[in-house]
Amino acid sequence: MTTTWPGRRPGWGRPAAPDRRPLVFAPLAWLKLQYLCHAGPTEVAGFGLSAADDPLYLEDVLVVRQAATAVSVAFDDAAVADLFDRMADAGVPPGRFARVWVHTHPWASVDPSPTDKATFARAFGGCDWAVMAVLGRTGRTSARLRFAAGPGGSVELRTAVDWAAWPAAAVAADHPLADRVAGWAAEYATLVD
């Protein structure tokens, strides 16, 4: 279930109980994922771009060219390589953009399918940690953190949206909200087949 994040921003301290820590979406990242979820009849996937000081705070959803159906998404390998090159050129380490896989389900269920689980294991199985998050058309979410340390394991994560940051994001003069939505529409039209 997605909840409102009570104002905690990166660097504001740690929550009291580590097992209660959610995967948090910045408002514009959440709205972009919602847009992608409702833009067409297929799944859509992307990489979560984490804050520099908080790997579970997503600042953006990075979309690459993909072939999508109602039940699957396949990234274009060259597009993924291009993303890695762009991020490396910008000085962004893989731990910030290549550890959180977010995707949508064009129906109510947010339970990862067998295909989702197999894709996550294949594409992220070599990572020391990774997250798979799913957003369904009803607004429900699921998220699972998998880690390789020690004997390895996984844990369910709650999801939240940092709505306290919404007022400032909504009126950012350098990038008006209408321009952002137009950009999301262009990404969907050009990158999701």
Digit-coded pLDDT (tens) for 88-116:
999 999 999 999 999 999 988 999 999 99
Contacts 24+ apart (CB under 8 A), 76-84: 79/191, 83/47
Query: Does the pLDDT at position 10 exceed 80?
Result: no
Q: In the structure, how many helices (H) and strands (E) does the chain have?
A: 6, 11
**What's the pTM?**
0.88
Split at pLDDT 50, 70, 90, the class of 147 is: very high
Decide: 185 and 44 in contact? Cβ < 8 Å: no
Decide: 90 and 56 in contact? Cβ < 8 Å: no
Averaged pLDDT, 172-186: 92
49-97 tens-digit pLDDT: 999 999 999 999 999 999 999 999 999 999 999 999 999 999 999 999 9
Residue type, 135: L
Decide: 58 and 91 in contact? Cβ < 8 Å: no
User: What would the two tokens of residue 110 be?
Assistant: 């947010």
Residue type, 113: S
